[in-house]
A and B are shown apart, each in its own frame.
Chain A
């Protein structure tokens, strides 16, 4: 286990470093001269010597690797630049949107797990029944609906037609505000989870040890609780890491439609206003978050199932 932990942590560090290089490359490919961005029209009035001084002050005369190292140091000290719209520190702007997004992700992840376990297990057990077909087709349809369209439909039905749920914002954090956004986020890819669990249950259900347990007279319920569900927990857990990145991506759409004051809406707003520091801060933050959660998920999976550890260690040879 020790070797596995170290291997995975080193890998994640590598991914982090490459990711930070990508972010740095992103800054450098952005259109526009940094000096021009700082001084705007005033730049025309400056002398060549002044311009050179500005470039030196910004550290743009050094080699790229040197600039990268300096930039990384700034990132670690929390200096992410200022928002070009409000002039406030990008870190402060982003920090204000963290909690709403976190709430949204948590509630939608909870809904996903609930839906996937309930329907995944029941369809897996009733494999090839009418119920199984109906649920599978419905989940297939939900995977094909564009999330923004689904969000609009829910909003029209519940908020405009029935008038029981609010259309936008997060109020004072009442549950009815979060209901629709998290439902859209969850249904957009609960189908993957559902199929994953269903297939896993079908495969495990027909394996020898379940047959043996049945032969020895264990009840269906205790087999499900003690053997089928624990076995299905691994794919569930490992997919959670991937689903996080997907949820963060869809949250841009969902938060924009429901005016949810989170990271996704902020990202789109700053992109439309060409507010690069804020956009970059959001991208970096979500990247680090996804990498860390994936690391955690992998370690948890390996802790639960020793076979996975060995598989990964074998791969390296």
Chain B
């Protein structure tokens, strides 16, 4: 790994940690209340009083950005955890049991994947009342399928390996096989999927909130800040759109990039891309 590359990774990790710290300490850093409406200072450009300006209701953009970041990160992390857990469980059962049940389980995944994800999310949003919890549920319910499929494929391939057959011969139960041998082997895959799951969930939350069916409008989130910004952008209030969108893009880019490096780091040495600047991934 050359020095330039390592420097870039360090920079990404440092800046991303900074963003996370800012978001974590939002109550200390946000001078203004993110929900406080001030009709006498509407659509103010960035100034010393309002670091990143104010929105159409006079709310401080900087404070909303910090609190909105909490929503995005919480949704990203929670939705990822739920979908990875569900996907690994489903994939493991399908891959271990095999036969007719496996085929049926895979057809269910095919059916779910045939419904365009955003339509599925919109449909599910109709069933649950809109809240932070429902967003997390809806996003994780619509994103566990590829994970399950990948885990199942890995288990299927692993079943033919000699060390698994040997464990079966000495009497390991399917559960023991899974816990002691198969899942540890899948760890790199699971970690990489989890990281890409975070950026997927953050983008999904932003999209849903932007469309007005995500986080309720009074609560700030990066996505619904943009929804409000759409109308004022044309009249020149650029600060309403640039900062939330910048945060979304930066977070997704950083998470994707770190995931990519992590994948490389976790791969067996002979498959590492190392300093060859390549983004080959399946």
Pick out which of these stretches binds chain A: B54-62, B163-171, B273-281.
B273-281
A interface residues, how many (CB within 8 angstroms): 52
Q: Does A252 contact B (CB under 8 A)?
A: yes
Residue of A29, A149, A202, A256 near B226 (CB, 8 A) is A149
Whether A144 lies near B256 (C-beta < 8 A) is: yes
Q: B112-125 CB contact bits vs A (8 Å, 1 = yes)?
A: 11111111101101
A191-226 vs B, CB cutoff 8 Å, 1 = contact: the mask equals: 000010001001000000000000000000000000
| Nearest residue, chain B, Cβ from A315 | B156
A52 within 8 A of B: no
Q: How far is the CA of A286 from the CA of B123 in the complex (A)?
A: 13
Contacts of B234 in A (CB 8 A): 156, 160
Assembly CA distance A202 to B273 (angstroms):
14
B115 → A minimal CB distance (Å): 5
B265 surroundings in chain A (CB, below 8 A):
none
B-side binding surface: helix, strand, loop or mixed?
Answer: helix
Cα separation A287 to B123 with both chains bound (whole Å): 13
- A84 to B249, alpha carbons, bound, how many Å? 38
Q: Which residue of A lies closest to B222 (CB)?
A: A146
Docked-complex contact A287 and B115, CB < 8 angstroms: yes
Most chain A CB inside 10 Å of its own CB: which residue of B114, B253, B279: B114
Of the stretches A35-43, A70-78, A271-279, the one at the interface is A271-279
- Looking at chain A's contact residues, the main secondary structure is helix
- Nearest Cβ in chain A — how far from B205, in angstroms? 10
A283 at interface by CB-CB < 8 Å:
yes
Identify B277's interface contact among A133, A252, A271, A291, CB under 8 A: A133
In Å, the complex CA distance between A14 and B104 comes to: 8
Q: Is the CB of B126 within 8 A of A279?
A: yes
Q: Is the CB of B116 within 8 A of A144?
A: no
A-contacting 9-mer, from B17-25, B84-92, B179-187, B210-218: B210-218
Lowest 3 CB-CB distances: which A-B pairs, in order? A249-B116, A249-B118, A248-B116
Q: Which residues of A contact B (CB under 8 A)?
A: 11, 14-16, 18-19, 22, 26, 29-31, 128, 133, 136, 140-141, 143-149, 152, 156, 160, 195, 199, 202, 245-246, 248-250, 252-253, 256, 267-268, 271-272, 274, 276, 279-280, 282-283, 286-287, 290-291, 294
